[in-house]
Structure 1
């Protein structure tokens, strides 16, 4: 599956309570189950008036269908080209 980052514009997102986030997570889980295609929610980050979610799916269309089923915005969906972190520095070829 391909990995995508989804940018969701949600005014007041950083003010959502843990109970509200749990409700959103339950809606997302139900939406995933209803899709009938391989799909995996990896994690989400809340920053200001946005959520940045990392999901795995076969296509952008599946990402957008998940958003539609869950009632979430998907303002920007971007295919992740590569991943790296601090450990990557030790893998450099000379």
Structure 2
């Protein structure tokens, strides 16, 4: 199944409290439960003004549906074509 990187612009994301991040995570998980097992949230990276989320989903439309139902911003969705890491250099 395809893997996606979702970019979400969220002003001052890096300064969100633990409680605020927990609330965002809980909302996301509630929506994922409603959508079923065809979409999975792998993890997210919080930066100064953005959150980058990794999802496994059958298509981009499923990612958009998750965002709409969860009232989450989506600024870009990119399908992961390949993954590299330090082992790739060997």
Name the structure 1 match of 2:47: 47
- TM (norm. structure 2) is 0.95
Name the structure 2 match of 1:61: 61
Name the structure 1 match of 2:80: 80
Name the structure 2 match of 1:28: 28
Tell me the distance in 1 between the aligned counterparts of 2:43 and 2:87. 20
**Following TM superposition, where does structure 1 have runs of at least 4 consecutive aligned residues deviating by more than 2 angstroms?**
none
What is the CA deviation profile of residues 58-85 of structure 1, one whole-angstrom value per residue up to 9, with x for unaligned ones? 0000000000111100110000110010
- TM (norm. structure 1) is 0.91
Can you give the 5+ residue segments of structure 1 that lack an aligned partner in the other structure? none
Name the structure 1 match of 2:2: 2
Can you give the 5+ residue segments of structure 2 that lack an aligned partner in the other structure? none
Q: CA deviation at 1:89?
A: 1.8
The SS at the match of 1:38 is coil
Cα RMSD of the aligned pairs, angstroms, is 0.9
Tell me the distance in 2 between the aligned counterparts of 1:59 and 1:82. 16
The structure number with the bigger radius of gyration is 1
- Asked if 1:17 corresponds to 2:17, the answer is yes
